[in-house]
Amino acid sequence: MTKNTFYTDHWREIDDERVARYERMFVWRDGHAALLAPLDLRSGSRVLDYGCGPGFVTEGMAGIVGPGGRVYGVDLNASFVSKASHRNAASDNISFHLVDGNRIPLADASVDRVLCKNVLEYVPDVQTTLAEFRRVLEPGGRLLLIDSDWGFIAVEPWGRQRTRRFFDAAAPAFKEPEIGRKLRAHLLDAGFDDVDVRVQAGVDTEGGSLLVLRNMASYASAFDAISADEVNALLAEAEAAIDDDRYLFCLPQFLVTGVRLR
């Protein structure tokens, strides 16, 4: 892996420890239905889940659209696609597909909903990806983009400067770490209509987000932008703050919807 391609390479090649973290982080939870509400999923909807990862959210959407609908999970990691396909081999309304490059392996106007959750911060060219979303969406189809904006993150007890240093060191993991604030303009430039922006800023004080910090620690250490001793000290401080009930993690998520009207 090189620093210039790390933002995609680290998704193609994932070690077992990271896989285990993702399988805990990306499980379907009760809150997902509310998070996906702007997508307006219905019985019979045909949905693309772009960057589906382990596929648990894809499976949750398959339950919502029912046997008359269809959900296509697409990801660039062969292991994610293989495991999800095997796990859902008996399901008739869900399938998983490996994507290589920009082209989505679906026909034109083949879906009426597209979900892209925490993916556009990694893609080489956002407009190329959005053009593919337009291609596979039928006229009247709806798109929901959910993405972070790491410029707004808060981690206590680290404070602003140390939090910024930690995430600046992890920045090679992203093509655009501040994609959230830019999504509206990107959708308008791509020709989508009825573009709407919402921000969801949940707060974690119990430590579930420590999985995120550990992922970021592995990225921060990849190119020696920060020493392993400093990273380990920061993680230890966060863990101690959890035990002392003084921990706080907040990362806004931008939820941006658009419609292909033509």
CB 68 within 8 A of CB 45: no
- What pLDDT does 52 receive? 95
The structure tokens listed for 31 are: 């809150």
* 258: region left, alpha or beta (phi > 0 left; psi from -120 to 50 alpha): beta
**Residue 119: closest CA among 57, 50, 31, 186:** 50
**H, E, C per residue of the chain:** CCCCCHHHHHHHCCCHHHHHHHHHHCCCCCHHHHHCHHHCCCCCCEEEEECCCCCHHHHHHHHHHCCCCEEEEEECCHHHHHHHHHHCCCCCCEEEEECCCCCCCCCCCCEEEEEEECCCCCCCCHHHHHHHHHHHEEEEEEEEEEEECHHHCEEECCHHHHHHHHHHHCHHHCCCCCCHHHHHHHHHHCCCEEEEEEEECCEECCCCCHHHHHHHHHHHCCCCCCCHHHHHHHHHHHHHHHHCCCCEEECCEEEEEEECCC
CB 253 within 8 A of CB 132: no
The stretch 145-163 carries a mean pLDDT of: 97
CB 234 within 8 A of CB 210: no
- 221 or 172: which carries more pLDDT confidence? 172
With vertex at residue 124, the alpha carbon angle to CA 120 and CA 130, rounded to the nearest 5 degrees, is 50
- What pLDDT does 1 receive? 66
Residue with tokens 């009760």: 30
- Mean pLDDT over each residue of the chain, to the nearest integer: 94
The stretch 26-37 carries a mean pLDDT of: 83
pLDDT at 218 over 80: yes
- CA dist., res. 209 & res. 17, Å (int): 16
- What pLDDT does 190 receive? 98
Q: What are the tens digits of pLDDT across the range 1-22? A: 688 889 998 888 888 888 888 8
- What pLDDT does 96 receive? 98
Q: What are the tens digits of pLDDT across the range 232-242? A: 999 999 999 99
pTM: 0.93
- What pLDDT does 116 receive? 98
Q: What are the tens digits of pLDDT across the range 65-122? A: 999 999 999 999 999 999 999 999 999 999 999 998 889 999 999 999 999 999 999 9
The stretch 222-241 carries a mean pLDDT of: 94
